[in-house]
Amino acid sequence: MGKTLAEKIIAAHAQDVTDVSAGDLVTVRTDVVMANDITAPIAIESFNAMGVEEVYDSGSIMLVPSHFTPNKDIKSAEQARTLRQFADEQALCHRFRVGRSGIEHVILPERGLVLPGDLVVGGDSHTCTYGALGAFATGMGSTDIAFAMATGTTWLKVPETMRFVYHGQRQPWVGGKDMILRTIGEIGVDGALYRAMEFIGPAISALPMSDRLTMANMVIEAGSKCGFMPFDDVTREYVEARATRPYTAYFADDDAQYVSVHEFDLSEMEPQVACPYSPDNVQPISQVKPEQVDQVFIGSCTNGRLEDLAIVAGMLEQSGREFHPDVRVIIIPGSQAVYLDALRAGWLELFTLAGAAVSTSTCGPCLGGHMGVLAADEVCVSTSNRNFRGRMGHPDARVYLANPAVAAASGILGRVAHPDEL
């Protein structure tokens, strides 16, 4: 019987067994163990409580301060310091300081630190982003991360896999964000619970890496354990410029077993919006009420890459317009490298002249941390990944999740808007 990508990558990392199937419980080797400034402090507490003295491999542990950095208050500063002290004590090879860093899920792929065929566990639910490269990558909590730091292993139940096939030509203003929102809207926030999601089809083959990262990033919003893009020329081109070590590409077998197959035709799909208060409350933009907005946020591990900012810059240049005077537009490049590239392209000046606040990289407003927390009853169009009640601030604030083009159009027109309205 053929194997899925999840089965193949887990089998290649399994201890004691060489063949695994969905449902098996296995112990696996980890290639990369990641945690951030919120999850690492508890992971470090647990690691110390375990009585372990040294991490399993100082080269594979990556502690990335990203959520409340640059430190938003004293307690956050102390949490970030905990990461630095642990990295010093354990002589970790990779360091991620403010000014040389960014959002973990932007910088780890960008720097070739996560690679195809890797098995990655991260103390952040959006660790699944790396599935865009063909890695098995899944989010875990802090104590699981402590165990992986101590032993270089974790336990997993091999997931069943759902397959998602995308046909047809993408319409203008439609990208990976719309494809994954539509998918989550179809299957629901627990539609892939405990399962893996494999994405294939001609529209995936034609999809640039930044859009693939956006799609894989949000599989957790369907409850999924991990998601996979196929390894192809797009992957190879992205990875070969960056890889810091050798990697292995895996391919699903033609006769692999899938629990379900879902087909999507993009030829009629317009930009999609997830309305308050759930990522599966998805409507095509033409069906969304053009509500007035108070804030627009463009950034995050979902849509904080250079290609996302390029869309916004292109719209400002072509329309010659500024952002609406009543809207706070906050644009946050996802990494120092994205910031620098956007700066050199002249886009940060363009955004600033158009009336946007442009910040150094942080997760910031996505989780209501800082740099754009919402007040009661405020409305925000955000390119991030969650619009749960209270996610970006006050529980009565209302967040619409959308792609960067819809966010920019909404920022310009002052209401939820289709980019074609410019």
Partner 1 sequence: MKLEGKVWKYGDNIDTDVIIPARYLNTTDPVTLAAHCMEDADQSFAQNVQPGDIMVGGRNFGCGSSREHAPISIKGAGVSCIVAESFARIFFRNAVNIGLPILESPDAARDAQPGDTLSVDLVGGTITNQRTGQTYQASPYPPVVLGIINAGGLVPYTREILGIEITG
For the bound state, the minimum distance from the C-beta of residue 392 to partner 1, rounded and expressed in Å, comes to 9
- Per-residue binding string, partner 1, 285-324, x by CB under 8 A, is ----------------------------------------
- Per-residue binding string, partner 1, 351-390, x by CB under 8 A, is ----------------xxx---x------------x-xxx
- Six token digits for residue 283: 């409507």
AA letter at 77: A
CB-side neighbour CA atoms (13 Å) of 358: 22
- Closest by CA to 66, choosing from 91, 42, 89, 99, is 99
- Work out whether 137 is an interface residue with partner 1 (CB under 8 A): no
- Work out whether 398 is an interface residue with partner 1 (CB under 8 A): no
- Work out whether 227 is an interface residue with partner 1 (CB under 8 A): no
Place of tokens 């996802």: 334
Of the two residues 147 and 400, which places its CB atom closer to partner 1 in the complex? 147
For the bound state, the minimum distance from the C-beta of residue 71 to partner 1, rounded and expressed in Å, comes to 9
Distances (CA, A) of 365 to 183, 188, 385, 393: 25, 24, 11, 8
Which residues are paired to 228 by β-bridges? 198
- Work out whether 186 is an interface residue with partner 1 (CB under 8 A): no
- Looking only at the bridges linking them, the beta strands covering 136-139 and 153-157 are unpaired
For the bound state, the minimum distance from the C-beta of residue 331 to partner 1, rounded and expressed in Å, comes to 21
Whether 12 contacts 250, CB under 8 Å: yes
For the bound state, the minimum distance from the C-beta of residue 79 to partner 1, rounded and expressed in Å, comes to 6
- Six token digits for residue 363: 């997760």
> Binding segment for partner 1 among 57-65, 147-155, 229-237, 348-356 (CB under 8 A)?
147-155
Three-state helix/strand/coil letters over 315-358: HHHHHCCCCCCCCEEEECCCEHHHHHHHHHCCHHHHHHHCCEEE
- Work out whether 144 is an interface residue with partner 1 (CB under 8 A): yes
- Looking only at the bridges linking them, the beta strands covering 379-382 and 119-123 are unpaired
Among 18, 51, 233, 286, binds partner 1 (CB under 8 A): 51
Of the two residues 43 and 348, which places its CB atom closer to partner 1 in the complex? 43
Contacts of residue 91, defined as CB under 8 A and 6 or more positions apart, other chains included, come to 58
Of the two residues 41 and 116, which places its CB atom closer to partner 1 in the complex? 41
Binding site for partner 1 (CB under 8 A): 25, 38-39, 41-42, 45-46, 49-52, 67-68, 72-73, 75-76, 79, 122-125, 127, 139-144, 146-147, 150-151, 155, 157, 189-190, 193-194, 220, 223, 225, 278, 367-369, 373, 386, 388-391, 395
